[in-house]
């Protein structure tokens, strides 16, 4: 009987256990540990569980955690991002790492469009000022029509693809910085390719980030230098990962008027849930909620469990491997 530890995952495991029953899988034991106050020793819990599989959200699965979990064969993530796992260390130890690409593409695409509309029409700003007793439509920064403006998309995965038809219907020109995508490929979606990030930042009225957090590649991809390249009337939208943006640099840019405003779904310190961005009027902020819907929750949980079943029960290679070069034996 293989053991799978679900550490600090929202909800119970009733849904997962029902799926296993439906699929006829009787050789997996799902173990649940809750730690809402972050007081438990995560590494110790993994060690003591003797887990063959591990499901986490925000806990860091480091080489040290792997070294005290000799049975660990797979880390299955209920997310698109995988920056919480030391991928090289897992690969070296023959541990599969899986994610669920595209599971919340519709939700994040709509959230990003919502951010765009909110920034342009100052919806959240007006709501706050009215509730504070100020009935004045001329408060805050000046607004303009967006027809003919340019939005720059940084990377071009499933989320931006779902955004494109809506953006085009809004009359926006779409510029894309995606080093792995050709101009011809992007043209099929009605988008123009930016050869460099610098080109995209200089030309765009809106910059929307859709890249994974990759150490030494996209960590602080947007910093002081990049923010100063943007137009003073431009907006930044981040529904990717908090550390894709140098947060102190963004705070400075917003305070000093290098850019007009920002809409942020992710911050750098989500563990402590604090950010200087919270104090600024020219920001719209949501609590890493872009992916949320009942549909995405259950779709993500099902797809996560499928990867565990492949590796531990059916003894086949998981279909959503992040570390595709991992070598292991069944």
Choosing from 241, 301, 303, 311, the catalytic residue is 241
Domains identified in the chain and CATH numbers: 2-102+293-313 (3.40.50.720), 105-285 (3.40.50.720)
C-alpha distances in angstroms, 298 versus 8, 20, 206? Answer: 17, 14, 32
Measured distance CA(37)–CA(170) in Å, rounded: 44
Q: Is the CB of residue 239 less than 8 Å from the CB of residue 265? A: yes
C-alpha distances in angstroms, 329 versus 4, 37, 93? Answer: 18, 37, 11
What is the pLDDT tens value at each position of the chain, 330 positions in all?
999 999 988 789 999 999 999 999 999 999 999 887 778 899 999 999 999 999 998 789 999 999 999 999 999 999 888 989 999 999 999 999 999 998 999 999 999 999 999 999 999 999 999 999 999 999 999 999 999 999 999 999 999 999 999 999 999 999 999 999 999 999 999 999 999 999 999 999 999 999 999 888 999 999 999 999 999 999 999 999 999 999 999 999 999 999 999 999 999 998 789 999 999 999 999 999 999 999 999 999 999 999 999 999 999 999 999 999 999 988
pTM: 0.89
The candidate with the shortest Cα–Cα distance to 78, out of 61, 64, 98, 95, is 98
Q: Is the CB of residue 323 less than 8 Å from the CB of residue 86? A: no
Active-site residue, 241 included: yes
DSSP 24: T
Active-site residue, 279 included: no
The candidate with the shortest Cα–Cα distance to 328, out of 318, 30, 99, 28, is 318
Measured distance CA(217)–CA(211) in Å, rounded: 10
C-alpha distances in angstroms, 289 versus 14, 71, 110, 151, 260? Answer: 23, 34, 11, 22, 23
């Amino acid at each position: 009987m293989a053991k799978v530890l679900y550490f600090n995952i929202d909800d119970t495991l009733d849904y997962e256990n029902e799926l296993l029953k439906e699929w006829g899988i009787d050789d997996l034991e799902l173990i649940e540990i809750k730690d809402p106050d972050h007081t438990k020793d995560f590494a110790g819990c993994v060690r003591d569980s003797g887990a063959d599989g591990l499901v986490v959200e925000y806990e860091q699965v480091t080489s040290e955690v792997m070294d005290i979990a000799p049975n660990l064969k797979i880390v299955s993530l209920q997310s698109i991002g995988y920056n919480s796992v030391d991928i090289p260390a897992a690969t070296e130890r023959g541990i599969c790492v899986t994610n669920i690409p595209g599971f919340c593409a519709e939700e994040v695409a709509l959230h990003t469009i919502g951010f765009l509309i909110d920034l342009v029409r100052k919806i959240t700003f007006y709501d706050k000022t009215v509730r504070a007793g100020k009935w004045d439509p001329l408060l805050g920064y000046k607004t303009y029509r967006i027809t003919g403006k340019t939005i720059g998309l940084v990377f071009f995965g499933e989320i931006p693809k779902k955004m494109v038809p809506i953006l085009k219907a809004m009359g926006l020109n779409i510029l894309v910085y995606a080093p792995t995508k050709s101009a011809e490929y992007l043209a099929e979606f009605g988008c123009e390719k930016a050869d460099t990030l610098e080109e995209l930042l200089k030309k765009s009225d809106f910059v929307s980030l859709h890249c994974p957090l990759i150490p030494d590649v996209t960590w602080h991809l947007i910093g002081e230098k990049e923010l100063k390249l943007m137009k003073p009337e431009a907006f930044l939208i981040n529904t990717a990962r908090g550390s894709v943006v140098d947060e102190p640099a963004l705070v400075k840019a917003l305070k000093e008027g290098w850019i007009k405003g920002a809409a942020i779904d992710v911050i750098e310190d989500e563990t402590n849930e604090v950010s200087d961005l919270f104090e600024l009027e020219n920001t719209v902020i949501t609590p890493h909620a872009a992916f949320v819907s009942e549909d995405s929750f259950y779709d993500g949980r099902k797809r996560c469990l499928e990867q565990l079943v492949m590796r531990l029960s059916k003894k086949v290679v998981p279909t959503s491997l992040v570390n595709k070069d991992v070598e292991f034996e069944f």
